[in-house]
C-alpha cells in the first residue's frame, strides 16, 4: 500500500550511514583483486590482481557487502556504488569511503536515491578544492546533509516499481538498438548480393588495373602537424564514415606540409578507403573536398571512367571484399592493410548502365535506412529521459 507524502521524513545522512574505517594488513604473498568505482553510477569493477608485496600501502580498506562506497577523487562524476558479494580478497584503498547502511534503509532504495540530482548536489556541495576536476569528497561535511525517506515497506515498494520500469526501459533500449543494427545490416547484405551477382555475370579486374595511372592508389599526409587557419582541408580516419565523409570538422593542414602529397590531392569522385587504425570504411570524395587531401590512414583510389565510383564503393563494402581485406591486415597496436594488397582486390566490371542500375537500387535502400536513424535517435532521447523522470517522481513520493 502506498504511503502519503507526509510519512516521508527528512533524515540526516549521518543518522543512516556509518563510516567504515576497518582496514586489513596485506599479506605480501597473498593475491588481492583491487577494484575501481566507475563514473556515472557505473558500479564496481575489478581493476587488477596483485600480490600484497606489489601494493605500496599495506593497510587497505576491505569491501563490505551491502555498503555504500564512494570515490573520494571521482565523487564529482557520480562514482559511487553499492558493494555486492565479492570474493573475500577484494580490497579498496584510501581513495574510497565506505558506509554501512542502517537496517531502516533498503540498500537498493538508497542506490536509486543516489541517481537523483538532489543527491548528486549533496555530494558535489560537500567536495572541497579549487578546480572541479580535482575536488575531493569530504565525508564529514557530506554526512550533515539530509535526504527524504519513507518507511521501509514503502522504500521496498518504490524499489520494486522503479526496477520494474527500469527493466522495461532496458528492454526497449535493447529492441531499439537491435532495430538500428538490423537497418545497418540491410545495406551491407544488399552490397554482398550485388557483388555476388556481378561476379557471376561479369569478368573481374584487380583495382590496380582499373585506376587512373597518373595518380595510382596512394595514401596521404603522414604527419599532418598542427591545425593552421586557411590551411588545406585534409580528411582523417575519423572523418571517413560508411558511404560518406563527415566534412564538418576537417583538419586544415599547413600548405607547405600538404604540398609534398600531390598524388593524393583530391579532384572529386575518388573512392576513399580507410587502411589504418581500423580497416574497411569507404566513401566517395564529395565536391566540397576538391582541392583537399587525406591523411595516411586513407587510401585514395582514382577509378577510371569505366567504373562508377559509388559502384566500386558499395561492392568493396560487401562482406566478401571486407573479409579479403581483413586477410591482409597486419600489425598489432596499429593495424592496417598495405597498398599492394589493396591493388590486388578484384572487382567485376559490368557495363556502366548495369553499374548505375545497381547503384540506384543501393542508394534507394540506403535512403530508406537513413530515414530511420532520426526516428531511432528521437526514441533513444525519449528513453534516456524516462528513468530520470521516474526517479524524480519516486523520490517526491509520487509513484
pTM surpassing 0.75?
no
Alpha carbon of residue 172 to chain centroid: 19
pLDDT given for residue 208 in this prediction = 92
Pick the CATH number of 7-149 from 3.90.220.20, 3.20.20.70, 3.20.20.80, 3.30.70.20: 3.90.220.20
Question: What is the mean pLDDT of the segment spanning 234-243?
Answer: 92
Average pLDDT, the chain: 89
Q: 6 pLDDT band (50/70/90 cuts)?
A: low
Give start and end residues of each alpha helix (H) in 127-245. Answer: 139-142, 152-201
pLDDT in tens, 376-392: 667 767 777 788 888 88
Q: 333 pLDDT band (50/70/90 cuts)?
A: low
Alpha carbon of residue 246 to chain centroid: 18
Report which of residues 91 and 104 the model is more confident about.
104
Cell numbers standing for residue 71: 570515490
Q: 45 pLDDT band (50/70/90 cuts)?
A: confident
Report which of residues 68 and 373 the model is more confident about.
68
Name the nearest CA neighbour of 217 among 225, 203, 206.
Answer: 206
Q: Judge whether 149 and 8 are in contact, CB under 8 Å.
A: yes
Name the nearest CA neighbour of 17 among 120, 115, 146.
Answer: 146
Task: Return the residue matching grid coordinates 542506490.
Answer: 111
Question: What is the mean pLDDT of the segment spanning 261-267?
Answer: 95
| % of the chain at pLDDT higher than 70 | 95
pLDDT in tens, 123-154: 999 999 878 777 899 999 999 999 999 999 99
Instruction: Give domain 203-349's CATH architecture.
Output: Alpha-Beta Complex (3.90)
Q: 1 pLDDT band (50/70/90 cuts)?
A: very low
**Interatomic CA distance for residues 328 and 301, integer angstroms:** 18
What is the β-pairing status of strands 251-253 and 232-235? antiparallel
Residue 376 contacts by C-beta under 8 Å, 6 or more apart in sequence?
176, 179, 180, 183
Report which of residues 329 and 373 the model is more confident about.
329
Amino acid at each position: 500500500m502506498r504511503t502519503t507524502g507526509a510519512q516521508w521524513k527528512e533524515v540526516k545522512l549521518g543518522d543512516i550511514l556509518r563510516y567504515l574505517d576497518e582496514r586489513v594488513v596485506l599479506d605480501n604473498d597473498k593475491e588481492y583483486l583491487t577494484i575501481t568505482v566507475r563514473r556515472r553510477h557505473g558500479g564496481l569493477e575489478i581493476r587488477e590482481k596483485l600480490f600484497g608485496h606489489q601494493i605500496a600501502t599495506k593497510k587497505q580498506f576491505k569491501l563490505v557487502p551491502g555498503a555504500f562506497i564512494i570515490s573520494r577523487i571521482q565523487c564529482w562524476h557520480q562514482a559511487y556504488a553499492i558493494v555486492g558479494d565479492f570474493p573475500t580478497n577484494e580490497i579498496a584503498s584510501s581513495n574510497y569511503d565506505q558506509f554501512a547502511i542502517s537496517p531502516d534503509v533498503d540498500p537498493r532504495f538508497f542506490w536509486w536515491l543516489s541517481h537523483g540530482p538532489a543527491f548528486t548536489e549533496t555530494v558535489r556541495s560537500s567536495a572541497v578544492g579549487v578546480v572541479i576536476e580535482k575536488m575531493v569528497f569530504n565525508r564529514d561535511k557530506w554526512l550533515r546533509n539530509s535526504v527524504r525517506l519513507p518507511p521501509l515497506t514503502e522504500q521496498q515498494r518504490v524499489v520494486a516499481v522503479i526496477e520494474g520500469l527500469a527493466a522495461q526501459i532496458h528492454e526497449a533500449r535493447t529492441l531499439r538498438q537491435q532495430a538500428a543494427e538490423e537497418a545497418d545490416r540491410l545495406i551491407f547484405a544488399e552490397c554482398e548480393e550485388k557483388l555476388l551477382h556481378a561476379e557471376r555475370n561479369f569478368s573481374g579486374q584487380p583495382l590496380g588495373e582499373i585506376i587512373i595511372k597518373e595518380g595510382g592508389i596512394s595514401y596521404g599526409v603522414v604527419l599532418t602537424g598542427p591545425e593552421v587557419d586557411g590551411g588545406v582541408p585534409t580528411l582523417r580516419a575519423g572523418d571517413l564514415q560508411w558511404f560518406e565523409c563527415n566534412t564538418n570538422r576537417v583538419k586544415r593542414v599547413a600548405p607547405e606540409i600538404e604540398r609534398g602529397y600531390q598524388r593524393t590531392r583530391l579532384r572529386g569522385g575518388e573512392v576513399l578507403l580507410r587502411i589504418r587504425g581500423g580497416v574497411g570504411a569507404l566513401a566517395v570524395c564529395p565536391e566540397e573536398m576538391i582541392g583537399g587531401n587525406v591523411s595516411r590512414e586513407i587510401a585514395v583510389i582514382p577509378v577510371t571512367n569505366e567504373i562508377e565510383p559509388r559502384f566500386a564503393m558499395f561492392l568493396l563494402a560487401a562482406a566478401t571484399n571486407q573479409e579479403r581485406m581483413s586477410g591482409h591486415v597486419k600489425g598489432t597496436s596499429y593495424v592496417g592493410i598495405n597498398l599492394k594488397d589493396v591493388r590486388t582486390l578484384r572487382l567485376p566490371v559490368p557495363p556502366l548502365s548495369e553499374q548505375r542500375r545497381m547503384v540506384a537500387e543501393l542508394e534507394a535502400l540506403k535512403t530508406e535506412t537513413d530515414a530511420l536513424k532520426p526516428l531511432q535517435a528521437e526514441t533513444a532521447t525519449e528513453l534516456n529521459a524516462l528513468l530520470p523522470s521516474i526517479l524524480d517522481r519516486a523520490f517526491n513520493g509520487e509513484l
